[in-house]
Chain A
Amino acid sequence: MVLSTFKIGGVHPPENKFSSGAAIQPLPIPGRVFVPITQHLGAPAKVMVNRGDEVKTGQLLAKSSGFISANIHSPATGKVFRIEEAIDQSGYKRMAVIIDTTEDVWAEGIDTSPDIIREISMSREEIIQRINDMGIVGLGGATFPTHVKMMVPDGKHAEYLIINGVECEPYLTSDHRLMLENGEEMLIGTAILMKALGVKKAMVGIEANKPDAIGHITKLAAKFQGITVHALKVKYPQGGEKQLIKALTGKEVPSGKLPIETGCVVDNVGTAFAVYEAVQKNKPLIERVVTITGKAVKTPSNFRVRIGTPIQHLIEHAGGLPENLGKLIGGGPMMGKALVSPEAPIVKGSSGILLMPVEEARRTIVKNCIRCSRCVSVCPMGLEPYLLAQYSRLEMWENAEKERIMDCIECGSCHYICPSGRPLLDYIRLGKANVGKIIRTRGKI
């Protein structure tokens, strides 16, 4: 059987999914949690509590402050210690609510029982409102507020809902475990999203390296109307929104446009599960599955972690900080960023923590570009990474914009494949930041 996949570019790095067999364990709540008020794309949320307030698990901490913004709820019960700037994953300080935790008491109205509620009783508007209230954002990593995705703009028509269970990033297994352990809830969440969007068809895309998940979800999906499961060829970056649409429907998202142009809305399996919990159980997004893995970790595991838990706490429960630690990475090895401090908290967008030993974490020596054009052939967006990197290095922002630098999805395939070890993605990211700034100022004038 020929498995479908996206057509242009792509690489296949070693999968190294060490933790795929480790069941999701609930991580004990740490003594102090740091809840940043910007955990999503868009405007920071507005803090609704004061220093010294007693908060319960699931209580609203910060309110969404705009159309593209999201509510933030308390991940634990306790007293607000401070509302001040705390270190985030990049080492910069961001405003956060710091809570000293006590025994876990849930706020009223939240169903914490393990029973699965299958009946979808809410109307379309109620569902979208609930998703908004519960602070659901895309859990694949981009943290785009989900309720915004659900509101299809006028003149556009949603045809398919695509559920992203690809998890193409090496090492990470959080979505894989979620599908195996909470598959039915995830599919109910999918059905809820289908109702909210008014679509008849949903497709779950899973890569062929997770045969157990494909089998499990296919069996479960038979009970649901309109949900089909598709096995996809293993190829990075298939989990990218645009690549997944191409792989499943054959349609291409036009440059600079949103996926809705092709009639598709893409959500992660984690988001679908969070939507199920929000709509059926009234539970806000205060915890997520995080993989802690890597060649330096003693016991690679998948934890259900409360938002705001310091990464340090996770490392302790996965066998402690290894001595040969070279790099601590937030996310997977391809798209993740090296973390500055293990004190930084887990946020809504953290899918994994990767600990690399010293030998592995070293960068290769940068040599001259030999014009082999391998970066061009692996770019899934059909860009010319060597050229974009050069324009960024020489600060030729207009040319970089013309060469569609803003289409780059920062998958890192070009950097991975480069035989000269050139930091192509690093330069492209710099270029994107600058070109983005220029485009925004142009809009203001």
Chain B
Amino acid sequence: MDNVIVYAVISLSAIGVTSAIVLYFVAQKFKVIEDPRIDVVEGTLPGANCGGCGFAGCRAFAEGIVKAGKLDDFNCPVGGNSTMAAIAKALGLEAEEKDPMIAVLRCNGNCDYAPKKLNYDGPATCAFAHNLYSGESGCPYGCLGLGDCVVSCKFDALYIDEKTGLPVVDEDKCVACGACVKACPRGIFELRLKGKKSRRIFVSCINQEKGAVAKKNCEVACIGCSKCFKVCAFDAITMENNLAYIDDEKCKLCRKCAPECPTNAIHELNFPPRKPKAEETAEVPKEPVTADSKA
């Protein structure tokens, strides 16, 4: 009986020792030397794995930075400047200050402006509806309102407004990862500079049809009249394919273009109310009252 126990112990120990020796040499042979800085960089990242930086996840982004040894082409949109500064500090590099961006929906074709002509009852995904037909309002460029962008958003920054049927960007939550830009089959979303005090001016339409055709389906479509283009003193507005586009890098937020637009396609966000002109004074005080009563 005793012998059995002794043999077992000896043979198992022998197997263990041999395996340990083999494993030691194998480990030496196949050793992967990983830069310890990758872990450090990864530790500073938000860990959302959103892919907004263009890499497969935060770890891949960290590996990319450490491998490149510079920060020029790298930006974590979620963490923003503070994260990039932390990475720079960890790696002993200089981080360039980048202006924060935000996703902007360039369509304002809600139920009032672009009334529904058809009733869609197929699968509720924009990708499918876009393949199938031009949309309930008839505008082939407009928002389909089925919410592929909402599904794609990992930061809960998008929701469909029930009244307008359009997605709304939550400014506090949006980190400009660009998931919605990729998800929208019509390319309506754009990442634009967030602007000082979140003030932004943009053309809220991407319809490239001729003015009359676009206007037929949607009251607030850009009709390509070039009025804003003429009034802009900074060459920030370009006209192409019957559509005005405001370059956010060049725009000085002077607000001259918005009142020129005959269809109110140019949107101003987060600006203080305009000083009322003589004939508009009667209308302006009314607005806050209705807003309060609704709330």
Interface residues of A (CB under 8 A from B): 85, 90-93, 337-338, 340-341, 362-363, 423, 426-427, 429-430, 433-434
Known: A340-B118, A423-B122, A423-B123. A91 touches B135 (CB 8 A): yes
CB of B219 to closest CB in A, whole Å: 19
Is A340 touching B131 in the complex (CB atoms < 8 A)? Answer: no
Is B138 touching A91 in the complex (CB atoms < 8 A)? Answer: yes
CB of B6 to closest CB in A, whole Å: 56
Is A340 touching B133 in the complex (CB atoms < 8 A)? Answer: yes
Contacts of B133 in A (CB 8 A): 90-92, 337-338, 340
3 closest residue pairs by CB, A with B: A91-B134, A430-B128, A91-B133
Q: For residues 146 through 188 of chain B, which have their beta carbon under 8 Å from a beta carbon of chain A?
A: none
Measured between alpha carbons, how far is A90 from B122 in the docked complex, in Å? 14
Known: A340-B134, A429-B131, A433-B131. A92 touches B122 (CB 8 A): no
16 additional A-B residue pairs with CB within 8 Å, beyond A340-B138, A341-B117: A90-B133, A90-B134, A91-B135, A93-B140, A93-B209, A337-B133, A340-B118, A340-B133, A362-B121, A423-B122, A423-B123, A427-B128, A429-B131, A430-B123, A430-B128, A430-B131
Contacts of B135 in A (CB 8 A): 91
Is A92 touching B134 in the complex (CB atoms < 8 A)? Answer: yes
Q: For residues 101 through 141 of chain B, which have their beta carbon under 8 Å from a beta carbon of chain A?
A: 117-118, 121-123, 125, 127-128, 131-135, 138, 140
Contacts of B127 in A (CB 8 A): 430, 434
Is B138 touching A363 in the complex (CB atoms < 8 A)? Answer: no
Measured between alpha carbons, how far is A341 from B134 in the docked complex, in Å? 10
Measured between alpha carbons, how far is A341 from B225 in the docked complex, in Å? 28
Q: Which one of B121, B128, B213 has the highest number of Cβ atoms from chain A below 10 Å of its Cβ?
A: B128
CB of A166 to closest CB in B, whole Å: 27
Measured between alpha carbons, how far is A434 from B131 in the docked complex, in Å? 10
Tell me the number of A-to-B contacts counted with CB atoms below 8 Å.
44
Contacts of A363 in B (CB 8 A): 121-122
Is A92 touching B140 in the complex (CB atoms < 8 A)? Answer: yes
CB of A240 to closest CB in B, whole Å: 21
CB of B130 to closest CB in A, whole Å: 10
Is B132 touching A337 in the complex (CB atoms < 8 A)? Answer: yes
Contacts of A90 in B (CB 8 A): 132-134
Measured between alpha carbons, how far is A150 from B122 in the docked complex, in Å? 39
Measured between alpha carbons, how far is A85 from B209 in the docked complex, in Å? 9
Contacts of B121 in A (CB 8 A): 362-363
Contacts of A92 in B (CB 8 A): 133-134, 140
CB of A372 to closest CB in B, whole Å: 20
Measured between alpha carbons, how far is A430 from B121 in the docked complex, in Å? 16
Measured between alpha carbons, how far is A341 from B140 in the docked complex, in Å? 13
CB of B221 to closest CB in A, whole Å: 14
Contacts of B140 in A (CB 8 A): 91-93
Picked from A91, A341, A430, A433, the residue with its CB within 8 Å of the CB of B125 is A430
Measured between alpha carbons, how far is A93 from B207 in the docked complex, in Å? 12
Picked from B117, B123, B138, the residue with its CB within 8 Å of the CB of A426 is B123
Is A426 touching B128 in the complex (CB atoms < 8 A)? Answer: yes
Measured between alpha carbons, how far is A429 from B121 in the docked complex, in Å? 16
Measured between alpha carbons, how far is A315 from B131 in the docked complex, in Å? 27
Contacts of A341 in B (CB 8 A): 117, 138
- 24 CB-based A-B contacts, threshold 8 Å: A85-B209, A90-B132, A90-B133, A91-B133, A91-B138, A92-B140, A93-B213, A337-B132, A338-B133, A340-B118, A340-B134, A362-B121, A363-B122, A423-B122, A423-B123, A426-B128, A427-B123, A427-B128, A429-B132, A430-B127, A430-B128, A430-B131, A433-B131, A434-B127
Contacts of B209 in A (CB 8 A): 85, 93
Measured between alpha carbons, how far is A423 from B129 in the docked complex, in Å? 13
Contacts of A429 in B (CB 8 A): 128, 131-132
CB of A429 to closest CB in B, whole Å: 7
Measured between alpha carbons, how far is A433 from B127 in the docked complex, in Å? 10
Contacts of A93 in B (CB 8 A): 140, 209, 213
Q: For residues 247 through 264 of chain B, which have their beta carbon under 8 Å from a beta carbon of chain A?
A: none
Contacts of B123 in A (CB 8 A): 423, 426-427, 430
Q: Which one of B118, B138, B213 has the highest number of Cβ atoms from chain A below 10 Å of its Cβ?
A: B118
Closest to A423 in B: B123
Measured between alpha carbons, how far is A340 from B217 in the docked complex, in Å? 13
Measured between alpha carbons, how far is A91 from B138 in the docked complex, in Å? 7
Contacts of B132 in A (CB 8 A): 90, 337, 429
CB of A112 to closest CB in B, whole Å: 38
Measured between alpha carbons, how far is A244 from B186 in the docked complex, in Å? 39
Measured between alpha carbons, how far is A363 from B121 in the docked complex, in Å? 7
Contacts of A434 in B (CB 8 A): 127
CB of A96 to closest CB in B, whole Å: 13
CB of B125 to closest CB in A, whole Å: 7
CB of A71 to closest CB in B, whole Å: 28
Measured between alpha carbons, how far is A325 from B121 in the docked complex, in Å? 15
CB of B123 to closest CB in A, whole Å: 5
Contacts of B125 in A (CB 8 A): 430
Measured between alpha carbons, how far is A263 from B213 in the docked complex, in Å? 50
Measured between alpha carbons, how far is A429 from B133 in the docked complex, in Å? 13
CB of A304 to closest CB in B, whole Å: 28
